[in-house]
């Protein structure tokens, strides 16, 4: 079958998309050693370039095309007002080395974002430095380490991590120099209290919890968990990736959490990007405030009695974790999002996110097994164990969804649920789009009963079938190479 030529094949010497004016300055001498004889850039007209990138963009799924229920990732819609504000020249054209007196508006925005995040979560202070959730985890666990060191408590080398935790938690704990002690879950998906009591002790530096956890469940013993760890002298780190479930409903700081990160690219609607800039600020209690990574923005009055915003370094700071001031463009977007919603709006976000997930649970339970049979928070974890016995696995269901134009949910995580399908609709989906997803999942369940080959052979409609995803991540090669006959792709 003929395929449309790519931009590389369309390339023709001298073809141009733009014309430059004749230079009105003399040619500069570029040293020969700086020059390359050939750079394999295609020479193409404007329409070819536009078509190339438009077609490329359509080969990827995106939240702007359809639902993206990737559990734990909170793939909510990125409101366009965020982008409009981030592009305002007063923010977009700032230079990070500009003197702070000339960037007061930006500092005020960061100061107010620090304050709003602290208020929403019940903490004393926030640092905006970390660039991702995992980076926030590193900041938080380093703070825990410094806190114990400052107290001369050098025996505290163990970090407790539940078996439902995201992989970044144990990885971060190890990076921060701790050894990981895994705590199992009980049969309702909570932290197993008996196991916790057994493992906690004088070597415990702290515990990394996620509440609601990655099973989409609120820990029914959260107060006991916090008390047990605190009584043993440990601190509580809360992985705030699931904060979207409890905005305006519960404050981690009031639950006894000592330090937590926020994923601005999840809860606060900034784009996830293709590995692009994220933002993972951390919030801490009064006791841990001096350890925050800096600089942070403070507020003071100048000699004329005017408010000024200034960079401050917390006195026992663990140091700097990011060049300049964190991912400022993301701060602008999250600030805009919070101000657009206000306190009542934030609460509504979480109520709707929880409602949507429970609606989906109600529509899918039966045909699919629900991992833990109790009301969920903002996401629901199903198991495709039954489907596996009928001949199609969670992975096959994920691939089949692509034929219906829907992004698959997270699969095979949490690790403690066999054939896990972790679904997070988020509050930004309408009932109609959630129903489309549910109807599609039910159609696939029927297909597996009747004609499983359709599902195990999926996807049928995408340009590429099943890729080696781990390989694609580990040895990414984005270089165009001349087309060969496509190799047949084995299913399964």
* 69-128: contacts with ligand PLP (CB under 6 A): 72-73
Q: Is 85 left (phi over 0), alpha (psi -120 to 50) or beta?
A: alpha
Which residue has the closest beta carbon to ligand PLP? 133
Q: Does 168 bind ligand PLP (CB under 6 A)?
A: yes
* Phi and psi, residue 431, nearest 5°: -60, -40
Q: Output Rg (C-alpha) for the chain, integer angstroms.
A: 26
Q: Does 271 bind ligand PLP (CB under 6 A)?
A: no
Angle, vertex CA 393, rays to CA 389 and CA 398, nearest 5? 150
Among 278, 290, 293, 459, binds ligand PLP (CB under 6 A): 278
Alpha-carbon gap, residue 90 to 394, rounded angstroms: 48
Cis peptide before 295 (omega within 30 of 0): yes
Instruction: Give the shortest CB-63-to-ligand PLP separation in angstroms.
Output: 15
Asked if 44 and 10 touch (Cβ cutoff 8 Å), the reply is yes
Nearest to 396 by CA among 464, 465, 450, 463: 465
Q: Does 210 bind ligand PLP (CB under 6 A)?
A: yes
Residues linked to residue 30 through DSSP beta bridges, in sequence order: none
Q: Does 280 bind ligand PLP (CB under 6 A)?
A: yes
Alpha-carbon gap, residue 304 to 282, rounded angstroms: 33
Q: Does 426 bind ligand PLP (CB under 6 A)?
A: no
Instruction: Give the shortest CB-438-to-ligand PLP separation in angstroms.
Output: 23
Half-sphere exposure of 33 (CA within 13 A, CB side): 0
Q: Does 371 bind ligand PLP (CB under 6 A)?
A: no
Alpha-carbon gap, residue 195 to 68, rounded angstroms: 36
Q: Which is nearer to ligand PLP, 329 or 459 (CB)?
A: 329
Q: Which is nearer to ligand PLP, 211 or 387 (CB)?
A: 211
Q: Which is nearer to ligand PLP, 166 or 400 (CB)?
A: 166
Residue-wise burial string across 438-451, b where 16 or more C-beta atoms lie within 10 A, e elsewhere: bebbeebbebbeee
- Only segment of 129-137, 281-289, 353-361, 465-473 that touches ligand PLP (CB under 6 A): 129-137
Among 76, 166, 341, 393, binds ligand PLP (CB under 6 A): 166
- Written as six digits, the tokens of 28 are 């500069």
Q: Which is nearer to ligand PLP, 263 or 269 (CB)?
A: 263
Among 114, 204, 244, 263, binds ligand PLP (CB under 6 A): 263
Q: Does 252 bind ligand PLP (CB under 6 A)?
A: no
Among 85, 127, 133, 192, binds ligand PLP (CB under 6 A): 133
Q: Does 141 bind ligand PLP (CB under 6 A)?
A: no
Residue-wise burial string across 74-102, b where 16 or more C-beta atoms lie within 10 A, e elsewhere: bbbebbeebeebbeeeebeeeeeeeeeee
For residue 323, CA distances in Å to 213, 265, 295, 328 come to 32, 19, 11, 11
Residue that has been written with the tokens 């702070």 in this structure:
100
Instruction: Give the shortest CB-73-to-ligand PLP separation in angstroms.
Output: 6
Among 109, 128, 134, 161, binds ligand PLP (CB under 6 A): 134
Q: Is 470 left (phi over 0), alpha (psi -120 to 50) or beta?
A: alpha
Asked if 184 and 192 touch (Cβ cutoff 8 Å), the reply is yes
Among 241, 257, 332, 392, binds ligand PLP (CB under 6 A): 241
- Only segment of 80-88, 132-140, 187-195, 363-371 that touches ligand PLP (CB under 6 A): 132-140
Q: Does 219 bind ligand PLP (CB under 6 A)?
A: no
Instruction: Give the shortest CB-168-to-ligand PLP separation in angstroms.
Output: 4
Alpha-carbon gap, residue 192 to 225, rounded angstroms: 9
Number of residues that bind ligand PLP (CB under 6 A): 14
- Only segment of 25-33, 131-139, 183-191, 215-223 that touches ligand PLP (CB under 6 A): 131-139
Among 48, 239, 396, 424, binds ligand PLP (CB under 6 A): 239
Q: Which is nearer to ligand PLP, 106 or 284 (CB)?
A: 284
Name the site residues for ligand PLP (rule: CB under 6 A): 72-73, 132-134, 166, 168, 210, 214, 239, 241, 263, 278, 280
């Amino acid at each position: 079958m003929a395929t449309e030529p790519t931009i590389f094949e369309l390339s023709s010497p001298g073809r141009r998309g733009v014309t430059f004016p004749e230079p009105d300055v003399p040619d500069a001498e570029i040293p020969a050693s700086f020059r390359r004889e050939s750079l394999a850039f295609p020479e193409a007209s404007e329409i070819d370039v536009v078509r190339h990138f438009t077609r490329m963009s359509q080969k990827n799924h995106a939240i702007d095309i359809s639902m993206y229920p990737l559990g734990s990732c909170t793939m909510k819609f990125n409101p366009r007002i965020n982008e409009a504000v981030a592009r305002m020249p007063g923010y977009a054209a700032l230079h990070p080395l500009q003197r702070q007196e000339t960037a007061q508006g930006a500092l005020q925005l960061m100061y107010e974002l620090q304050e709003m995040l602290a208020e929403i979560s019940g903490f004393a202070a926030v640092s905006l430095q970390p660039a991702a959730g995992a980076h926030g985890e590193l900041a938080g666990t380093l703070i825990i380490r410094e806190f114990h060191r400052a107290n001369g408590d050098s025996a505290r080398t163990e970090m407790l991590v539940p078996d439902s935790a995201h992989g970044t938690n144990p990885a971060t704990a190890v990076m921060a120099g701790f050894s990981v002690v895994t705590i199992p879950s009980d049969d309702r998906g909570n932290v197993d209290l008996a196991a916790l009591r057994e493992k906690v002790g004088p070597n415990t530096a702290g515990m990394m919890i996620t509440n609601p956890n990655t099973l989409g469940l609120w820990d029914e013993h959260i107060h006991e968990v916090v008390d047990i760890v605190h009584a043993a002298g440990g601190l509580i780190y809360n992985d705030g990736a699931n904060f979207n479930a409890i905005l305006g409903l519960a404050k981690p700081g009031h639950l006894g959490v000592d330090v937590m990160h926020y994923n601005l690219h999840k809860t606060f609607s900034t784009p996830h990007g293709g590995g692009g800039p994220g933002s993972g600020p951390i919030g801490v209690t009064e006791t841990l405030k001096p350890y925050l990574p800096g600089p942070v923005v403070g507020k003071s009055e100048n000699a004329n009695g005017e408010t000024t915003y200034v960079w401050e370094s917390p006195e026992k700071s663990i140091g700097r974790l990011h060049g300049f001031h964190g991912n400022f463009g993301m701060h602008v977007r999250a600030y805009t999002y919070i101000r657009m919603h206000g306190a009542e709006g934030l609460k509504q976000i979480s109520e709707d996110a929880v409602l949507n997930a429970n609606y989906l649970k109600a529509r899918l339970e039966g045909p699919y097994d629900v991992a833990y049979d109790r009301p969920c928070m903002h996401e629901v974890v199903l198991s495709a164990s039954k489907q596996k016995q009928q001949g199609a696995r969670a992975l096959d269901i994920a691939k089949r969804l692509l034929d219906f134009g829907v992004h698959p949910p997270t699969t095979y995580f949490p690790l403690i649920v066999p054939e896990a399908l972790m679904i997070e609709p988020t509050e930004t989906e309408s009932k109609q789009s959630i129903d489309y997803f549910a109807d599609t999942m039910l159609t696939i369940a029927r297909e597996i009963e009747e004609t499983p080959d359709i599902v195990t052979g999926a996807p049928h409609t995408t340009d590429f079938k099943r890729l080696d995803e781990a390989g694609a991540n580990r040895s990414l090669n984005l270089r165009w190479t001349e087309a060969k006959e496509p190799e047949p792709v084995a299913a399964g």
